[in-house]
Every structure is written in structure tokens, then in C-alpha cells.
Amino acid sequence: MAQRNELLREELLYGRIAINFANAKTHEEAINNLNDSIREIHEIPRNLKIRKSSAKSVQKDQNKIKELLEDLIKQDHLYNVSLIHDYILCYNFTCKPFLDVQEDGSISEIPLFHDQKSTDHDTFIAYCLVNFLKSDISIKRKHILKCNMCKDFFISKKIDERTKYCPICSYKNKMSKEERSKHDKKKRLEKKLEKKEKLTPEQEKQIERMMSTGHTREQALEYIKLDMNEDYSTDRSPSN
């Protein structure tokens, strides 16, 4: 049972990666979310990069994933979810998985892009969605929820019909009116700062170096901001 629960947890991760891509507010954030998620999949080399894509291409795939998720919630059978066939076709022709033995002794499918330095976002999304949906779909579809407040999709760790809000909105619901106003104001300010701040090539390299040591892009950006504001000491670094 414990082994099965662990496998389910890993497979839910694939769904969470695709959903985080779909929920991103900008195409840059969507691609960054995919790059940040690579280190969480043990079959994928950590140095793999998702190629940059146009805003139009990313938005098209975001809408496509959301439509697929809507159908997954409504339909009783995966075969009736029309868009899944598109992702399976992409999976078969671009991922071209082959079997290999992992370091832990298990046999698993390895995608063709395993030995490449980079891959397209749609190929990686197809890989994640197929791995998410290829087994126990009747159970997994119950983990897919849509927040009543922000309307984003999310993966719930536990199956509970009482869950109506995503983790972020659930947290906000517990705030007072003043706390929520302060929280929203802070988020708006952070978004404005992100738009104004343009990273130099050296700062981008610094972020890549930090991500290669296990930090997320968000943690690296926070460190860069502290560096830019001269509010840090040389022995201060973000924690995992």
C-alpha cells in the first residue's frame, strides 16, 4: 500500500507540473515553471532546458490544457476526452520513450529528449500529461479541482469533496479584510517590480548556477533582489 501511495504521489506530480504551466499568468512564467519542475522528475536530467516559446504558442497550449482538465472532471471515461488523443499522438512521435533500468533497480520509460540539452514545451507537457493519466484515472480525476475563487485548476493531495479553494485562496480566506488587502497590495507591488527589473546576462547566469545547486528560480530571484538592494551580507543565501 505504501509503495502504491508513493507511485500515486509521483504520478500526481506530473499533473501538477502541467497545471502550474496552465495557471501561469505570463508565457515567461509558464516556461520558468517547467524548467523549475525538471529536477523533481528523477527520469529527467537536471540540465535539460525547456526552449523559449512565443506568448501566442504558450497561451494556446495553456487554454488547451484547461479545456482538457474541464473534460476530465466532467467525463466518466478517458476515451471521451478528445484532447487526450492529441497529447498521446505527440507523446508517441516526439517523446518516443524507451525502457531502461534506473539506479534504484526499477525499469521505467525514458523519453527521447533524455539525452538532449533542450526540448520544446509542448513535448514536455505531453510527456507529463500522459504519465499523469496513463493509470488509475478514476482516482486521479478526483484529485483535479477548480478553485471557486480564482478559477485556477489545482491538484488536491487528498480526495475531499469539501475542498473548494486552492491553497493560496484558502489561505486568503482565513485573513481579515485588512490582512487580505495588505497581501494583495504586496503581490501587486511584486508584479510591478518584476516588470521593471531587467536582469543582466550575468544575473541570469547566477540564477542558473543557483538552480543547478537545488534552489528554485523564485529563490534565486529573491536573492538577486536582495543583492540589488544591498540588503544582504556575503554569508546570506536562500534556504531550500
Q: What is the pLDDT of residue 133?
A: 86
Give the domain range for residue 6.
2-161
Residue 52 lies in a domain: yes
Domain membership flag for residue 215: no
Q: How many domains does the chain have?
A: 1
Domain membership of residue 222 (yes or no) is no
Where the chain has pLDDT below 70, the residues are 1-8, 136-138, 171-175, 189-198, 226-240
* The pLDDT value given to residue 235: 42
Query: What pLDDT digit, counting tens, does each position of 42-75 carry?
Result: 778 788 899 998 999 999 999 999 999 998 888 7
- Judge whether 199 lies within some domain: no
Domain containing 98 — which CATH number? Answer: 1.10.3300.10
179 falls within a domain: no
**Does some domain include residue 167?**
no
> Are 140 and 20 contacting, i.e. CB atoms less than 8 angstroms apart?
no
pLDDT value, residue 74: 82
Q: What pLDDT score was predicted for residue 13? A: 87
pLDDT at position 26: 92
